[in-house]
């Protein structure tokens, strides 16, 4: 008998980084809206930090908590459960602890018998668990199709020496041979050196990220990706060619836009009062997320660049670990010189409500795929300052599409206040950025189309999940 959506039970297992946890959460919400039952698996602290489930979906989404095993060598700080809790050099030790979750998860899968397991790039050991329990497995890429196509050829990740696909960092400074159409998506030298080591380098966990992903890609029943043909058609077509198994676009999983201002008091109430006084589409929103830790020099150059641009700004700054206090996090006298022209808020920020405010016109940010989607939902101009992993690849693609301005950098990757100010003025006010602003506004019709992404893409994905059982009913 054909399975109905309400009969489907999907287990979600994201990697312990919020750039992964949040897209998995958004996919869970989208599937629950379609009637699918979800078991969202993570650690207690990570689950506590996720957004609240809409009340009408609470019966369909079950948070399943497993405590992260504590390494006996104290290689992880107490209470660390996600990459945001630790410096970059500690991430391999988080993977060691995360890998130990395979033992309780094996029992969970055997007991619960979900219809599908959807995993991330780290949990290669779920391949054996899914096979032992006869549960089909999907790999969910939280990256754009453009960046995953560049990074994710299975043979490349497996280190196929016969094809010699990725022999060195130099090979990552141009589009790979399997991209069969004009593309500017590639790393620059300073980015490629770090990316090559990140993907293929040995680490304390004993297995490279490339080996993890290759194991999953070569064994899963298919791949799903947060993308749509309306925006990344060529890249999705090429992904289908190289994967040789189903590649299912999920749509962009846009967050439902806030219908009205939710915050009216406290410091954020005052900030929104200030935003209310600014001209429409005049303010730059600045945010670099939580994963990459900016150095003092980087924070100060961004600050001086904002000041030099002369444009109004709202900067949601995560307190740097090098700063003694909030005052130390910014250049001396910066707050006084920019008073009335801009605001820096240190700590948590209501990002979607900020982006949805009529006075916001552009965003200076790290080019993470999730933030790109959120920003283009509102048609804002993009000022791109990428740092790690897929961010540089996303930036190249957005510039290629005429949707963003990338901050100029020196060969060593450094940037200056002049480069920040120039990129801001081009994106926000200069005549040469007029077409960019128009394209960003036009892109909102795709990125903000909830019906397209929920009813069309998620609807088709649910049909894919159900059809597997019809196709394999005699197996």
Q: What is the mean pLDDT of residues 407-423?
A: 96
Lowest mean pLDDT among 212-216, 317-321, 360-364, 418-422: 317-321
Q: What is the pLDDT of residues 69-109, one digit of tens each?
A: 876 666 888 889 999 999 888 999 999 999 999 999 999 99
pLDDT of 474 strictly over 70: no
The encoded tokens of residue 171 equal: 């090979």
pLDDT of 163 strictly over 50: no
Q: What is the pLDDT of residues 225-245, one digit of tens each?
A: 999 999 999 999 999 988 888
Per-residue confidence at 147, pLDDT binned at 50, 70, 90? very high
pLDDT-above-90 percentage for the chain: 72
pLDDT of 165 strictly over 80: no
pLDDT at 267: 87
Lowest mean pLDDT among 151-160, 191-200, 254-263: 151-160
| Mean pLDDT score across all residues of the chain | 90
Q: What is the mean pLDDT of residues 266-275?
A: 90
pLDDT at 266: 78
Q: Which residue do the tokens 């397991």 mark?
A: 117
Per-residue confidence at 413, pLDDT binned at 50, 70, 90? very high
Per-residue confidence at 470, pLDDT binned at 50, 70, 90? low
pLDDT at 72: 60
Tell me which of 3.40.50.2000, 3.40.50.2300, 3.60.40.10, 3.30.460.80 is the CATH number of domain 266-448. Answer: 3.40.50.2000
In whole angstroms, how far apart are CA 347 and each of 110, 209, 287, 319, 364? 42, 31, 11, 6, 17
pLDDT at 243: 87
Contact 81, 45 (CB under 8 A): yes
Torsion of CA 27, 52, 350, 23, to 10 degrees: -20
Phi-psi region of 231 (alpha: psi -120 to 50; beta: other; left: phi over 0): alpha
pLDDT at 320: 83
pLDDT of 166 strictly over 80: no
pLDDT of 119 strictly over 60: yes
pLDDT at 468: 81
pLDDT at 156: 58
Among 139, 129, 131, 135, which Cα is nearest to 106's? Answer: 129
Fold identical between 5-254+450-472 and 266-448?
Answer: yes
Lowest mean pLDDT among 78-82, 205-209, 294-298, 467-471: 467-471
pLDDT of 1 strictly over 60: no
Per-residue burial over 190-202, b if 16 or more Cβ lie within 10 Å, else e, is bbbbbbbebbbee
pLDDT-above-70 percentage for the chain: 92
Per-residue confidence at 7, pLDDT binned at 50, 70, 90? confident
State the Cα–Cα distance between residues 395 and 399, nearest whole angstrom. Answer: 6
Q: What is the pLDDT of residues 315-364, one digit of tens each?
A: 999 888 877 887 888 999 999 999 989 999 998 888 999 999 999 999 99
pLDDT at 101: 95
pLDDT at 264: 64
Taking the model in full, what pTM does it have?
0.92
pLDDT at 73: 61
Instruction: Spell out the domain ranges in the chain.
Output: 5-254+450-472, 266-448
CATH of domain 5-254+450-472: 3.40.50.2000
More confident position, 370 or 264: 370
Per-residue burial over 36-53, b if 16 or more Cβ lie within 10 Å, else e, is bbbbbbbbebbbeebeeb
pLDDT of 180 strictly over 80: yes
């Amino acid at each position: 008998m054909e399975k109905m959506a309400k009969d489907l039970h999907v287990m979600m297992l994201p990697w312990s980084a919020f750039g992964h946890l949040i897209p998995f959460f958004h996919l869970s919400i989208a599937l629950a809206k379609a009637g699918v039952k979800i078991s969202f698996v993570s650690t207690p602290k990570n689950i506590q930090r996720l957004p609240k489930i809409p009340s009408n979906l609470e019966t369909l989404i079950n948070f399943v908590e497993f405590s992260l095993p504590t390494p006996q060598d104290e290689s992880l700080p107490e209470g660390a459960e996600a990459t945001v809790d630790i410096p970059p050099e500690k991430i391999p030790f988080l993977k060691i602890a995360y890998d130990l979750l395979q033992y309780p998860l094996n029992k969970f899968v055997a007991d619960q018998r979900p219809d599908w397991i959807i995993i991330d790039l780290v949990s290669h050991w779920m391949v054996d668990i899914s096979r032992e329990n006869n549960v089909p497995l999907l790999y969910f890429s939280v990256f754009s199709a453009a960046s995953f196509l560049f990074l994710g050829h299975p043979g490349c990740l497996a280190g196929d020496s016969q094809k010699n696909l990725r022999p060195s960092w130099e090979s990552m400074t141009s589009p790979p041979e399997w991209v069969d159409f004009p593309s500017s998506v590639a790393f620059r030298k300073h980015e490629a050196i770090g990316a090559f080591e990140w993907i293929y380098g040995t680490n304390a966990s004993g297995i490279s990220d490339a080996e993890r992903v290759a194991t999953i890609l070569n064994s899963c029943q298919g791949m799903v990706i947060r993308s749509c043909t309306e925006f990344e058609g060529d890249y999705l077509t090429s992904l289908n060619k190289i994967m040789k198994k189903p590649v299912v676009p999920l749509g962009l999983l846009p967050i439902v836009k806030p219908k009205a201002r939710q915050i009216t008091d406290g410091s954020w109430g005052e900030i929104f009062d200030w935003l209310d006084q600014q001209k429409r589409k005049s303010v730059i929103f600045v945010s670099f997320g939580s994963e990459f830790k900016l150095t003092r020099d980087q924070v100060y150059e961004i600050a001086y660049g904002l000041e030099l641009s002369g444009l109004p700004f709202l900067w949601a700054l995560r307190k740097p670990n090098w700063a003694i206090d909030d005052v130390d996090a910014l250049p001396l006298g910066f707050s006084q010189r920019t008073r009335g022209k801009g605001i820096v808020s240190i700590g948590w920020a209501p990002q979607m409500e900020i982006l949805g405010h009529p006075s916001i016109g552009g965003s200076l940010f790290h080019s993470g795929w999730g933030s790109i989607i959120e920003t283009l939902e509102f048609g804002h101009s993009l000022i791109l300052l990428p740092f790690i992993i897929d961010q540089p690849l996303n930036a190249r693609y957005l510039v290629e599409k005429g949707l963003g301005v990338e901050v100029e950098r020196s060969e060593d990757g450094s940037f200056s206040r002049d480069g920040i100010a120039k990129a801001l003025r081009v994106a926000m006010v200069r005549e040469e950025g007029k077409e960019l602003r128009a394209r960003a506004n036009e892109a909102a019709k795709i990125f903000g189309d909830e019906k397209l992404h929920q009813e069309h893409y998620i609807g088709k994905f649910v049909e894919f999940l159900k059809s597997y059982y019809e196709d394999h009913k005699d197996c």
